Amino acid sequence: MAAKSIMVQGTASHVGKSILVAALCRIFVQDGYRVAPFKSQNMALNSFVTRDGGEMGRAQVVQAEAACVEPSVDMNPILLKPYGHASSQVIVMGRPIGNLTAQKYHNEYAPGALKIINESLNRLFALYDLVVIEGAGSPAEVNLQDNEIVNMTIARMAKAPVLLIADIDKGGALAAVVGTLELISPDDRERVAGIIINKFRGDLNLFKPAVDFLEKKTGKPVLGVVPYFHDLRIQEEDTISEDKNRGVPVEKPGSWVDVAVIHLPHISNFTDFDPLEDEPDVRLRYIDGVNRMRDPDLIILPGSKNTMEDLVFLYRSGLAAQIVKFSRAGIPVIGICGGYQMLGNDLFDFHHTESKFPRIKGLGLLDITTTFASEKVTNQVEACLNGSGLLLNGAQDIKVTGYEIHMGKTKLAQGVSPVFNILRRSGEEVSFPDGAVSRDGLVFGTYIHGIFDNDCLRRHVVNILRKKKGFEPLSATGAIPVTEQRNRDFDKLAALVRSSVQMEKIYSLLGLNGYQKGK
Concatenating the DSSP letter of every residue in 384-448 gives EE---STTTTT-TT-EEEEEEEEEEEEEEPTTPBPSEEEEEETTEEEEEEE-EE-TTSSEEEESE
Cβ atoms of residues 288 and 248 within 8 Å: no
Could you give the CA distance from residue 229 to residue 129 in angstroms, rounded to a whole number? 30
Give me the chain's average pLDDT, please.
Answer: 91
| Least confident piece of the model among 178-187, 311-320, 394-403 | 394-403
At residue 162, the pLDDT reads 98
Mean pLDDT of the 6-19 span: 96
Could you give the CA distance from residue 359 to residue 338 in angstroms, rounded to a whole number? 15
For residue 257, list its beta bridge partners.
282
Amino acid (one-letter) located at 492 = K
Parallel, antiparallel or unpaired: strands 298-301 and 257-262: parallel
Q: What distances in angstroms separate CA 482 from CA 240, 275, 282, 404, one per listed residue?
A: 20, 7, 15, 20
| Least confident piece of the model among 18-27, 150-159, 469-478 | 469-478
Query: CA gyration radius for the chain?
Result: 24
Q: Does the structure show a pLDDT above 60 at 245?
A: no
What secondary structure, in 3-state letters, does 320-353 show?
A: HHHHHHHHHCCCCEEEECHHHHHCCCEEECCCCC
Q: Does the structure show a pLDDT above 50 at 246?
A: no
Q: Does the structure show a pLDDT above 80 at 236?
A: no
428: CB partners within 8 A, 6+ apart: none
Predicted model pTM? 0.90
Instruction: Go through the chain and tell me how many residues it has.
Output: 519
Q: Read off the pLDDT of residues 89-98 as tens digits, 9 standing for 90 and up.
A: 999 999 999 8
Q: Does the structure show a pLDDT above 60 at 519?
A: no
Confidence tier at 237 by pLDDT (50, 70, 90): low
Confidence tier at 10 by pLDDT (50, 70, 90): very high
CB atoms within 10 A of CB 452: 27
Torsion of CA 474, 366, 354, 55, to 10 degrees: -40
Measured over the CA atoms of residue 185, residue 180, residue 105 and residue 161, the dihedral's sign is negative
Cβ atoms of residues 434 and 419 within 8 Å: yes
Mean pLDDT of the 275-288 span: 92
Could you give the CA distance from residue 25 to residue 65 in angstroms, rounded to a whole number? 9
| Least confident piece of the model among 289-298, 404-413, 437-446, 475-484 | 475-484
What secondary structure, in 3-state letters, does 62-123 show?
A: HHHHHCCCCCCHHHCCEEEEEEECCEEEEEECCEEEEEEEHHHHHHHHHHHHHHHHHHHHHH
CA 120 to chain centre: 21
User: In 3D, which of 374, 377, 393, 376 has the Cα closest to residue 385?
Assistant: 393
At residue 151, the pLDDT reads 97
Give CA angle at 84 (79, 85), nearest 5°.
Answer: 110
At residue 253, the pLDDT reads 52
Could you give the CA distance from residue 69 to residue 516 in angstroms, rounded to a whole number? 18
Burial of 364 (0-12, 13-18, 19+ CB in 10 A): middle
At residue 356, the pLDDT reads 80
At residue 315, the pLDDT reads 97
Q: Which residues of 120-138 are buried (b: 16+ CB within 10 A; e: fewer)?
A: bbeebbeebbbbbbbbbbb
Q: Read off the pLDDT of residues 142-161 as tens digits, 9 standing for 90 and up.
A: 988 888 999 999 999 999 99
For residue 154, the number of C-alpha atoms closer than 13 Å in the C-beta half-sphere is: 32
Strongest mean pLDDT among 247-251, 255-259, 391-395: 255-259
Q: Does the structure show a pLDDT above 70 at 242?
A: no
Mean pLDDT of the 49-53 span: 95
| Least confident piece of the model among 237-251, 353-367, 425-439 | 237-251
- Where in the sequence numbering do the catalytic residues fall? 337, 449
Q: What distances in angstroms separate CA 33 from CA 63, 68, 133, one per listed residue?
A: 15, 11, 15
Could you give the CA distance from residue 365 to residue 358 in angstroms, rounded to a whole number? 21
For the chain, report the end-to-end CA distance as a whole number of angstroms: 14
Parallel, antiparallel or unpaired: strands 257-262 and 282-287: parallel
H-run or E-run covering 257: strand 257-262
Burial of 445 (0-12, 13-18, 19+ CB in 10 A): buried
Q: Which domains does the chain have, with CATH numbers?
A: 4-233 (3.40.50.300), 242-468 (3.40.50.880)
CB atoms within 10 A of CB 316: 9
Could you give the CA distance from residue 54 to residue 108 in angstroms, rounded to a whole number? 24
Q: What distances in angstroms separate CA 116 from CA 44, 127, 426, 459, 480, one per listed residue?
A: 19, 17, 24, 43, 40
Burial of 242 (0-12, 13-18, 19+ CB in 10 A): exposed
Measured over the CA atoms of residue 492, residue 493, residue 499 and residue 502, the dihedral's sign is negative
Parallel, antiparallel or unpaired: strands 443-446 and 436-437: antiparallel
At residue 447, the pLDDT reads 97
Q: Does the structure show a pLDDT above 50 at 105?
A: yes
Cβ atoms of residues 278 and 233 within 8 Å: yes
CA 182 to chain centre: 32
Q: Does the structure show a pLDDT above 60 at 507?
A: yes
| Least confident piece of the model among 76-90, 223-237, 392-406 | 223-237
Q: Read off the pLDDT of residues 201-217 as tens digits, 9 standing for 90 and up.
A: 989 999 999 999 999 99
At residue 479, the pLDDT reads 62
Which has more confidence, 72 or 394?
Answer: 72
Confidence tier at 232 by pLDDT (50, 70, 90): confident
